[in-house]
Copies of this chain bind each other. A is one copy, B any other.
């Protein structure tokens, strides 16, 4: 077993209070393991250490020897900032993963980290859009050059830290990295790497993993 690569750290963002979902979806169980633990385990595959950003009220309660829990902020970006504060300065690549994507496989983590090791300042995984896209007020949009962005996303640590120095807020880290001039590449994501958004997505994730409902 190789020793963990402490130059790569992960931030798993799971600070949502479930205002849309109706409950804290990151703690729901799929095949006996929580959505969050599944996301953390996948991130640990590629990272020497993982910071999980969770609701502040849950920090004391959650316990895993291999995870550093920190309390989140009021927005996703505020939560990532808290996570960044907890990542050791030695890390030169930082992987950010949504805590509500329980199905991301190791290959996705390997791919985004390899892209950054290969010279990119950031790498996101993404998939082609399969549905026709239109503007709500009329007109079909050419989707041929559009992709749906997923996590994991990997970044050179100093670029990600620079992106989060300001007050910027975005639902996506690559957006902030590009706003400070960072170059972000796209690697192939996976259609089954779903985000738990609606209650029925738990059954979907279980079906994709092959767990009994």
Contact = CB atoms under 8 A, between A and B. Distances in A.
A162 interface: no
Given A191-B198, A203-B207, A146 B133 contact: yes
Contacts of A197: 130, 191
Interface string A177-195: 0100001101000011001
Q: Is the interface of A mostly helix, strand, loop or mixed?
A: mixed
Contact of A136 (B171, B172, B186, B200): B186
A134 B200 contact: no
A146 B134 contact: yes
A178 B140 CA distance: 9
A206 B132 CA distance: 23
Given A146-B141, A178-B140, A200-B208, A126 B130 contact: no
A93 interface: no
A75 interface: no
Interface stretch (A39-47, A58-66, A78-86, A147-155): A147-155
Contacts of A141: 146
Given A131-B150, A140-B149, 18 more contacts: A126-B136, A129-B133, A129-B148, A131-B148, A131-B149, A131-B195, A133-B147, A133-B148, A135-B147, A138-B183, A138-B184, A140-B172, A140-B178, A191-B197, A191-B198, A191-B200, A192-B200, A213-B213
